[in-house]
Amino acid sequence: MRRLIAMFIVCTVVFSASVYAQEDSTDVNMVKSLGEKVDELSGKVDGIQEDYLATKATVDKISKVKLSGYLQTQIRVAKDTAGQLNPDYTNRYDIGEFQGGKLPAATRTVFQLRRARIKTTYATSLTQMVVQLDCLPFTTGSAVSSTTQDTSGKYTVKTKTSAFLSGGGVSIKDAYLRFTDPWTKSFALKGGVFDRPFGFEISYSSSSRESPERSRLYQTLFPGERDLGFSLEYLPGDNLPKFAQFFNFKGGFFAGNGINVEFDDLRDFIGRAGFSIPIIPINMSIDGGVSGYVGNVRDRNDTLYEVKSGKWAASTGKKWDDVDKRYIGGDLELFYGNIPFFGGICLRGEFIKGKQPSFKSTNVSQKTGQSSKDPVYLREIGGYYGMVVLNIDPVRCQLVGKYDSFDPEMNLEKKEVTNAADIKYSTIGGGLVYHLTENVKLTAYYDNVRNEKSSVAPFTSDVKDDVVTFRVQYKF
Amino acid sequence: MNKRILAITTGILVAVAAIVYAATTTITVKGSDTMVILSQRWAEDYMAKNPAVSIQVTGGGSGTGISALINGATDICNASRPMKSSEREKLKQRYQSLGVEIKTAIDGVTLYVNEKNPIKELTLDQIKAIYTGTITNWKQVGGPDMKIILYGRENSSGTYVYFRDEVLSGQDYAQTMQSMPGTAAVVNAVSRDQYGIGYGGAAYAQGVSFVAVKKDVSSAAYEPTAENIKNGSYPVSRYLYMYVRNRPSGEMKKFIDWILSDEGQSVVTKVGYFPIR
């Protein structure tokens, strides 16, 4: 019996020990297994972390590319006439040239795609590359070959239609590089095709401008607004002391012939020294600047014309002379944001005076035409504009009023003017801008264009060339 | 003819008045994620007292809010940083106004670490070195030999900009920083990550530990408490702003006046920020 009891006890102890050993081994295995799983998960997390960093690096690169653009489509109506035709069915005078482009002959209303721009920017913290394209459809036209008049005075136009395309396609608006200094982040070097640093209205984007077009003086002196060159900019950042933030500067050397390739070795200096004084407690800002243009064009004709004693006078022996192109300008903008009910108001004005070399038939700055062998006409130009923009904030509207004046030859007055390119013009414009959404803007604008009463027919009195513009803009 | 013109003019005026009235009884508020909870509380309390007024509050970050103010997509913008001069320029161009800035509360930007993390204080230089990637291991600041996991905000956040400008002296964040969509997400990530560090508004710090901040090695460390923030001892404090395009009027003015009143400022304290007075 004792023997049986002893055997039972021994068996129980052995069994218990084996069970304990088994349990202990299970726990060890479980811990081992959990450890392996943690290692596995940790590896996976590290893998995800690596993937995340690789993806982030890609996303960061992509986020440096910014795409923006806008499209303006419009209807323009010549208020009164486009019916004053020459016998060959061309207009006796241009209508709408400075209100979005000349209206075609014998046409009172045009549908128009005014601007369609896509801008691509690649920007890092200190560098920027910008390419902006304007994509407009070609316009078609037909050339009139001959016109005959019968005995009753009726004209017959024989059209030998030769269709042509003009005024459209894809063109470069901007293509430039910009490098910012890494220390103050306020100085930058810019090179390529970009806005000329002169005055206010050039650099004020067409998508933001309240009037449909720039003033006549800017369209004449700076057609296309851009030029090819290099400039230095000082645009102070928030990190600079307050007094240093009040001033800004842009200036550089340019080819002087718009976005076209350079055709001479003359360079033009263009620059603007400006200020911007925000008076935040009363929600007011006073901005302004003075601008200068110092350049030349090369005369390829022996004769140079200038106005002396009220008429054009020729001087000879001028071939290959460099003729002055000089402008000086000033601009002032006053912003006040606390007008009860309306919101903000802006009063803006600019003037430009100077010497403008061009040709007899035109007073516009030449883009490529300086290679022409026509004699150069050196004009003393002067012009200005003033405008008011009043916001009606609760209803997203802006009321706009503008007056601009441009005299292409200030030494000739009224009846002394015998050449259409010397006629002084003034334009009173007014309209309503409605911001339908953050992307869509609607504009209705009326331009009352007045010409000086000159000796040049039909400009012996004010011709009927007022234009109304209805525009829809989409911007992203 | 005159009657017809009168009728048309009256019709236009009535339509304009109706639009203005509709615009002034619904107020939209957008911007800083730091201020979302505070702003929602303000809106709820104000609407409870003024049932005719509807206030819609959304976040998205200070930068997003300022863009919305410029684009006309919101009436009020919440921002946890001051408006930049470039943003004022855009506002000026579109509205002929520099915008109106209203200081609504004070916040201490808080450094969060996991509750198991033994680190209790850091100098501003150490924080800068951690977030710019110069210091990458907790051992370098007296902690365990473990890699520091950085959590921060997206670049549309005012807190992101404020922290970069004021704490990192304008330097870029380390590439390894994980950008989170809101302060709550930062706090959540740090509460789960023993070796993580994050930053954000004081009101969100639940389930994580504060780090006391020292101006430099020799100065005292201060926690982001009401007293320290109000008396300026805590080195990383800032105002929380509201921006509007023009001087507020109508219902918007009443709402803002109420926010600045004792009643509105008591909400600031309840939410976990600090009143301006």
**8 A C-beta contact, residue A338 and residue A283:** yes
Q: What is the pLDDT of residue A160?
A: 42
A136-183 residue pLDDT tens: 876 554 444 455 555 665 555 454 444 444 566 788 999 999 999 998
Q: What is the pLDDT of residue A71?
A: 96
Q: First CA to last CA across chain B, in angstroms?
A: 61
Number of Cβ atoms within 10 Å of the Cβ of B211 = 22
What is the complex's ipTM, to 2 decimals? 0.77
How are beta strands A284-298 and A322-339 bridged, if at all?
A: antiparallel
Instruction: Give residues with Cβ within 8 angstroms of B54, minimum separation 6.
Output: B25, B26, B27, B47
Mutation target vs A (from B14, B81, B97; most A CBs, 10 A cutoff): B97
B166: closest CA of chain A, how far (Å): 11
Which of A338, A389, A438 lies closest to B72 in CB terms?
A438
Instruction: Give the CA angle between residues B223, B226, B230 to the nearest 5°.
Output: 100
Would an 8 Å CB–CB cutoff place A241 in contact with chain B? no
**8 A C-beta contact, residue A127 and residue A158:** no
Instruction: Give residues with Cβ within 8 angstroms of A15, minimum separation 6.
Output: none
Size of interface A-B (CB pairs under 8 A): 86
Which of B73, B84, B176 lies closest to A438 in CB terms?
B73
Residue where the block lists tokens 């690169």: A61
Interface of A with B in 198-237 (CB under 8 A): 204, 208, 237
> Which stretches does DSSP call E strand in B83-177?
100-108, 110-113, 121-123, 149-153
Where chain A has pLDDT below 70, the residues are 1-25, 80-84, 138-168, 368-371, 394
B115-157 residue pLDDT tens: 999 999 999 999 999 999 999 999 999 999 999 999 999 888 8
B55: closest CA of chain A, how far (Å): 16
B211-270 residue pLDDT tens: 999 988 888 999 888 888 878 889 888 899 999 999 998 899 999 999 999 999 999 988
Instruction: Give residues with Cβ within 8 angstroms of B242, minimum separation 6.
Output: B29, B76, B77, B78, B79, B101, B102, B104, B256, B259
Distance separating alpha carbons of residues A425 and A96, to the nearest angstrom: 13
Q: What is the pLDDT of residue A413?
A: 87
Which of B72, B98, B175 lies closest to A283 in CB terms?
B98
Q: What is the pLDDT of residue A234?
A: 97
**8 A C-beta contact, residue B33 and residue B78:** no
Which percentage of chain B shows pLDDT scores above 90?
Answer: 59
Q: What is the pLDDT of residue A56?
A: 76
B139: closest CA of chain A, how far (Å): 20
**8 A C-beta contact, residue A442 and residue A471:** yes
Cβ pair A394:B24 closer than 8 A: yes
Which of B16, B96, B172 lies closest to A344 in CB terms?
B96
Reference B224, options B213, B215, B216; nearest CA is B213
> Which helix or strand (DSSP H or E) is residue B241 part of?
strand B237-244
A169: closest CA of chain B, how far (Å): 31
Q: What is the pLDDT of residue B201?
A: 79
Q: What is the pLDDT of residue B7?
A: 72
> Which helix or strand (DSSP H or E) is residue B126 part of?
helix B124-132
Domains of chain A: 66-475 (2.40.160.10)
Domains of chain B: 2-106+240-271 (3.40.190.10), 110-235 (3.40.190.10)
Please provide residue A242's backbone torsions phi and psi, each rounded to the nearest 5 degrees. -55, -50
Q: What 8-state DSSP symbol labels residue B88?
A: H
How are beta strands A169-180 and A164-166 bridged, if at all?
A: unpaired
Mutation target vs B (from A438, A439, A476; most B CBs, 10 A cutoff): A438
Q: What is the pLDDT of residue A143?
A: 45
Which of B20, B92, B247 lies closest to A395 in CB terms?
B20
Model confidence at B76: pLDDT above 90: yes
Distance separating alpha carbons of residues B157 and A375, to the nearest angstrom: 62
Chain A partners of B23 at a C-beta cutoff of 8 Å?
Answer: 394-395
Residue where the block lists tokens 């005078």: A93
